[in-house]
Amino acid sequence: MLVSRLAALAVSITLGVPASTLAPPAVAASTPTAAATRATPFGALHWRLIGPFRAGRTLAVTGVIGQPKHFYMGSVNGGVWETLDTGRTWQPIFDSEDVGSIGAIAVAPSNPNVIYVGTGESDMRSDIAQGDGMYKSGDGGRTWTHIGLEDTQQIAMIRVDPHDPNRLFVAALGHPYGPNAERGVFRSLDGGKTWKKVLGPNDDTGAIDLIFKPGDANVIYASLWQTRRPPWSVYPPSNGPGSGLYKSSDGGKTWTHLEGNGFPSKGLGRIGIAISAAAPDRIYAIVDADEGGLYRSDDAGKNWKKTSGDPRIWQRGWYFGQITADPKNPDRIYAMNTIELRSDDGGKHFVPVLGDPTGDDYHALWIAPNDPERQIMGVDQGAVITTNGGKTWSSWYNQPTAQMYHVSVDNRFPYRVYGAQQDSGAAAVPSRSPYYATINMMQFHEVTAGGESGMIAPDPDDPDIVYGGTVEKLDLKTQQTHNVDPTLADPDLYRRTWTLPLVFNAADRSTLYFGNQRLWQTTDGGKHWTAISPDLTRPDPGAPANLDAPTVADNLHQGPRRGVVYAIGSSPLDRNLLWAGTDDGLIWRTADDGAHWDNVTPKQFGAWSKVGNIEPSHFDKAVAFASVDRHRLDDRKPYIYRTDDGGKTWQSIVDGIREGDFVNVVREDPVKKGLLYAGTEHGVYVSFDDG
């Protein structure tokens, strides 16, 4: 049974969910949504926002023409938000929908009540939050209708005809982990009721950007990108033979491939496009290629000249790639990368934008067509707004849209909740406020151990000691951090991935476990470690050939990032009973604290499945539950298994979980036997009968 739909579920039940009954002063109180008020056994239960209040990565931003204080932003894990006061407060307006990953937002220029949202982030990171197509609101975001393109999974851009709110084009990147037909450029002439694919050469090539020629919406430029994520790598292949820049002069009926004449071709990957209304035939293209950089055409794409190879504007071109032109000054352009850069000479030279909010990465920029001083920018830490051309910006500490990987709690009272936040680092927040009516930013603490993706393990006997990441030990009283990584002596011998397990023994509070391809144990706070397992992964950690992406890999970023223990389950009934699950599809069990290990992988496991977590029962040593995630193999089905005989046999227990809600975590209630919780990509499910 589905308890609630969450827009910020990452790997486990996360912090910072948009739907809330407790909000910080800078977040406007949300009204009850349809999902929250429908009749269920849980109608009286509500999710309570506890933070952290710093925002998460944001790729979709837009303002409203003619309404200078009105903006929208879409987070990769936090849904759609609206501000009516230039970013001072934000209101969540998408919480009633089943998906929270937003790739694109567009407001119809001729009717600001018409808003289109494309779901599924288009940045090809290792933990991509996928979407389920297009949504439309005709009443300014109060209600939403799903309007198709369900199988796109990633939507990068939406362009609405300036004079017709029912005519729009969508750039769909498609499945990140496999081929599919619903990718490319799509057109609708009836407000999303029907769609036609107007550009897209094959099932491996999607669209990453598109733009109208100012003053003529029948002239469209679109960039295609052929890429696919390997299942375990942090970085994707950056280029493929289907990539290229295209132009249509008849409203998308026919297209011309813009190649040669100065435009690069070798190693072509992601391309971002910009045009200033002050020079409609001048096109800027930021290109990821062997000869990457900024290219410019002054004759509507016929001829091209490279104006800058500055690596600051196109480094990591598979991840960045948005460029924006000033609507009134054709020589002024902005490039989004690890910093925001501006050129005032038509792209020849770039300088950092002084006064920017100094975030980690910059992804998107919208400039008001009638007022270039008014801008909204999407960065790793949320959305920020300027009304003076970038001299000052609004805060991002009022958008609870953090993308959290795991959560853990300590044993203080009231207890603290810990989690690693993508792009911003680990954080700790109180479960409730001992002093104030609401939890606020004054009670938020950064945690230096754990980084942006590691697990956090507070010491059960000393809540001032926290372990995190791979592995750091933090004393919260002194703020001193020590690296206690067991592999420091020979780091090249051990594999690492974006997230590695770090957990205390559930029956022995002095024992801490850490996993890479082996399982490690310390009983003295990290001073000494002992390897208590052999390599528990497949003998050859390389992916089979049919899982390799059919594009050219970026070899500079490929490392030993697969073939690791991803989940550790410690029995609360027996300190010597441990379970281990790998990211390449194996489950192991030891009953003697690691002296001997048995391979108890379920026979029904699909090859190369990732074991998300293992939950040993609180009531019976022979019982355990395992969540399995195959979405990186382009399989979004839910998988949870239960064993009643110590792993000899397993049975699937996913009845009632929807087809596309792949499972990140399963937990057993420690008090009520038979009560299970499952955290999925789109919500939390509950079972009252052991699944």
Residue with the bigger pLDDT between 436 and 20: it is 436
H/E stretch holding 246 reads strand 244-248
Domain count, the chain: 2
What does the block give as tokens for 595? 């002296």
Q: Which domain holds residue 154?
A: 58-379
- Interatomic CA distance for residues 227 and 398, integer angstroms: 35
In a domain, 295, yes or no: yes
Q: Which residues contact 298 (CB under 8 A, 6 or more apart)?
A: 279, 281, 282
Pick the last residue of a domain from 379, 405, 435.
379
What's residue 544's pLDDT? 56
What's residue 35's pLDDT? 44
In a domain, 182, yes or no: yes
Reported as a single tens digit per residue, the pLDDT across 192-204 is: 999 999 999 999 9
pLDDT, average across residues 364-392: 95
- Interatomic CA distance for residues 672 and 196, integer angstroms: 52
What's residue 3's pLDDT? 57
Residue with the bigger pLDDT between 431 and 649: it is 649
Reported as a single tens digit per residue, the pLDDT across 237-275 is: 778 899 999 999 999 999 999 999 999 999 999 999 999
In a domain, 469, yes or no: no
Reported as a single tens digit per residue, the pLDDT across 285-312 is: 999 999 999 999 999 999 999 999 999 9
Secondary structure letter of residue 491 according to DSSP: G
In a domain, 390, yes or no: no
* Owner of token pair 């990732």: 610
CA 163 to chain centre: 34
- Interatomic CA distance for residues 61 and 385, integer angstroms: 10
pLDDT tier for residue 451 given thresholds of 50, 70 and 90? confident
In a domain, 551, yes or no: no
Contact 384, 396 (CB under 8 A): yes
* Owner of token pair 């796109």: 152
3-class SS of residue 340:
strand
- Measured CA to CA in angstroms, residue 194 lies from 155, 171, 197, 411, 511 at distances of 17, 16, 10, 55, 59
* Cis bond before residue 52 (omega within 30° of 0): yes
What's residue 497's pLDDT? 85
Across 27-36, 435-444, 628-637, least confident range: 27-36
Q: Which residues contact 472 (CB under 8 A, 6 or more apart)?
A: 448, 449, 450, 481, 482, 483, 484, 485
pLDDT tier for residue 26 given thresholds of 50, 70 and 90? very low
Q: What is the maximal distance between C-alpha atoms in the chain?
A: 74
What's residue 496's pLDDT? 84
In a domain, 497, yes or no: no
pLDDT, average across residues 666-673: 97
What's residue 15's pLDDT? 32
Reported as a single tens digit per residue, the pLDDT across 48-93 is: 888 888 899 999 999 999 999 999 999 999 999 999 999 999 999 9
What's residue 290's pLDDT? 94
**88 burial via Cβ count (<10 Å: 0-12, 13-18, 19+):** middle
Question: Average pLDDT of the chain?
Answer: 89
Question: Which residues share a beta bridge with 64?
Answer: 67
pLDDT tier for residue 462 given thresholds of 50, 70 and 90? very high
- Measured CA to CA in angstroms, residue 520 lies from 27, 510, 531, 535, 568 at distances of 43, 14, 4, 11, 11
pLDDT, average across residues 118-137: 93
In a domain, 318, yes or no: yes
What's residue 245's pLDDT? 99
- Interatomic CA distance for residues 586 and 579, integer angstroms: 11
Contact 420, 428 (CB under 8 A): no
| 37: pLDDT strictly greater than 50 | no
pLDDT, average across residues 91-116: 97
| 638: pLDDT strictly greater than 90 | yes
Phi, psi dihedral angles at 381 (to 5 degrees): -105, 15
Contact 162, 194 (CB under 8 A): no
In a domain, 507, yes or no: no
Contact 465, 411 (CB under 8 A): no
What's residue 9's pLDDT? 37
**pLDDT > 70 in the chain, percent:** 89
| 547: pLDDT strictly greater than 60 | no
Give the count of beta carbons closer than 10 Å to the beta carbon of residue 289: 21
pLDDT tier for residue 561 given thresholds of 50, 70 and 90? low
Contact 594, 578 (CB under 8 A): yes
What's residue 622's pLDDT? 98
| 555: pLDDT strictly greater than 50 | no
What does the block give as tokens for 168? 């729009």
What's residue 31's pLDDT? 41
How many residues are recorded in the chain?
691
Reported as a single tens digit per residue, the pLDDT across 495-543 is: 888 889 999 999 999 999 999 999 999 999 999 999 999 999 988 655 5
Q: Decide: pTM greater than 0.75.
A: yes
| 94: pLDDT strictly greater than 90 | yes
> What is the CATH classification number for the domain harbouring 634?
2.130.10.10
What's residue 387's pLDDT? 96
Going through 592-675 in order, the beta strands assigned E by DSSP cover: 598-599, 610-616, 624-629, 639-643, 651-652, 663-668
| 595: pLDDT strictly greater than 50 | yes
Residue with the bigger pLDDT between 167 and 452: it is 167
Pick the last residue of a domain from 341, 363, 379.
379
Secondary structure letter of residue 263 according to DSSP: B
Pick the last residue of a domain from 379, 399, 424.
379
pLDDT tier for residue 444 given thresholds of 50, 70 and 90? confident
What's residue 356's pLDDT? 65
